[in-house]
């Protein structure tokens, strides 16, 4: 009985397709099922038509040709579906590899700090204990941030990402984020300026996610500006929209890498040269949130000369 149910499940295309989270018309098993029905239908109808129209072989040949054309199209769709599924499987393996590597770095830091804290041969001094506690705190935050970013990306991709849109002030959000990074910018010898242009208006967006967008952009600008400098934010109000730009004097993005900037886990070679840590998800999240909010994001950059990120958001409820 168990075996019968197992076979029944395996030949049921709908049961197999529900595993893959793809539309039914892109599922290979369903398409093979349709192809089978088309083949059987064509054979049967060709037989009856050929029998009743023996004197008209041209019609029979036309039917067979049309059926061949339909089968070719179905084959093409099936092959594409297999390719998409293979690509999804490859990306999943790559994602697992990247995430496990990114998690291992802070976990190793935590393990080694714990080895020293609980060493049986050398009791740490108060100062050393403080240093190890800082390592534990910093790296657990790093792991937490990575997991948060991954969950965000997963929610966006599964379509389960509701935005609680309200009229919010982009200027207030920018000021809040500049305040949040105050100690960091001071320590990095970076000056952050904010300029407003036009008559102030509000954008129609989810305030928490808009904060995340501004935070990710500001974090990048500061992180990749080594040796001090200025980060300039300009918020410009025009009819129906607000535009936001953030310009830094940092390492810039090489031309050949610019097309990958918004992809998941992408980290530019020039960024790796600064030795900074990051998940490579921040800009991907920025793009997804801005576009889901009805806006657009883009950037201008040159290696060694800094980067300016821009986004615009609507102020009128659609």
Partner 1 sequence: MSKILVVEDESALQKTLGKVFERDGYDVLKALDGEIGLRRAREESPDLIILDLILPKMNGFEVLKALKSDHKTSSIPVIILTNLETMEDIEKALDGGASTYLVKSNYTLDEVLEKVKKILEE
Told to check if 188 binds partner 1 by CB under 8 A, we report: no
Pairing label, strands 229-238, 296-302: unpaired
Among 24, 77, 116, 143, contact with partner 1 (rule: CB under 8 A): 116
Among 4, 19, 122, 127, contact with partner 1 (rule: CB under 8 A): 122
Q: 121 or 239, CB closer to partner 1? A: 121
Told to check if 105 binds partner 1 by CB under 8 A, we report: yes
Among 75, 93, 108, 189, contact with partner 1 (rule: CB under 8 A): 108
Distance CA 64, CA 183 (A): 75
Told to check if 129 binds partner 1 by CB under 8 A, we report: no
Q: 135 or 153, CB closer to partner 1? A: 135
Among 131, 219, 291, 303, contact with partner 1 (rule: CB under 8 A): 131
Q: Residues 275-294 vs partner 1: string with x where CB under 8 A? A: x-------------------
Told to check if 127 binds partner 1 by CB under 8 A, we report: no
Q: How many residues bind partner 1 (CB under 8 A)?
A: 22
Told to check if 62 binds partner 1 by CB under 8 A, we report: no
How many C-beta atoms lie closer than 10 Å to residue 238's C-beta? 13
Among 16, 109, 140, 308, contact with partner 1 (rule: CB under 8 A): 109
Window contacting partner 1 (CB under 8 A); options: 41-49, 78-86, 213-221, 270-278? 270-278
Distance CA 298, CA 293 (A): 15
Window contacting partner 1 (CB under 8 A); options: 45-53, 107-115, 144-152, 240-248? 107-115
The residues of the shown chain that bind partner 1, judged by CB under 8 A, are 101, 104-105, 107-109, 111-113, 115-116, 122, 128, 131-132, 135, 138-139, 272-275
């Amino acid at each position: 009985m168990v075996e019968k149910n197992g076979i029944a499940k395996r030949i049921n295309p709908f049961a197999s397709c529900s595993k893959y989270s793809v539309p039914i018309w892109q599922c290979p098993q369903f398409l093979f099922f349709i192809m089978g029905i088309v083949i059987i239908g064509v054979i049967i109808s060709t037989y009856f038509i050929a029998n009743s129209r023996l004197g008209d072989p041209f019609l029979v040949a036309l039917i067979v040709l049309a059926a061949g054309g339909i089968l070719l199209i179905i084959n093409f769709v099936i092959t594409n579906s297999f390719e998409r599924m293979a690509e999804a499987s490859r990306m999943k393996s790559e994602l697992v590899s990247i995430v496990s590597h990114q998690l291992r770095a802070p976990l190793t830091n935590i393990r080694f700090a714990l080895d020293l804290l609980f060493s049986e041969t050398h009791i740490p001094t108060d100062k050393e204990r403080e240093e190890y506690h800082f390592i534990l705190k910093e790296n657990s935050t790093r792991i937490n941030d990575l997991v948060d970013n991954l969950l965000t990306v997963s929610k966006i991709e599964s379509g389960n990402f509701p935005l609680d849109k309200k009229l919010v002030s982009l200027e207030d959000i920018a000021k809040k984020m500049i305040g949040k990074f105050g100690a960091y910018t001071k320590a990095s010898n970076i000056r952050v300026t904010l300029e407003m242009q036009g008559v102030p208006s509000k954008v129609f967006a989810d305030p928490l996610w808009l904060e995340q967008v501004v935070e990710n952009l500001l974090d990048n600008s500061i992180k990749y500006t080594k040796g001090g400098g200025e980060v300039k934010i300009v918020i410009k109000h025009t009819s129906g929209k607000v535009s936001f730009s953030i310009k830094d004097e940092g390492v810039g993005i090489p031309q050949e890498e610019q097309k990958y900037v918004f992809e998941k886990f992408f980290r530019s070679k020039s960024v790796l040269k600064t030795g900074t840590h990051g998940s490579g998800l921040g800009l991907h999240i920025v793009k997804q949130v801005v576009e889901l909010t009805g806006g657009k994001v883009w950037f201008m950059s040159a290696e060694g000369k800094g980067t300016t990120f821009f986004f615009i958001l609507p102020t009128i409820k659609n």
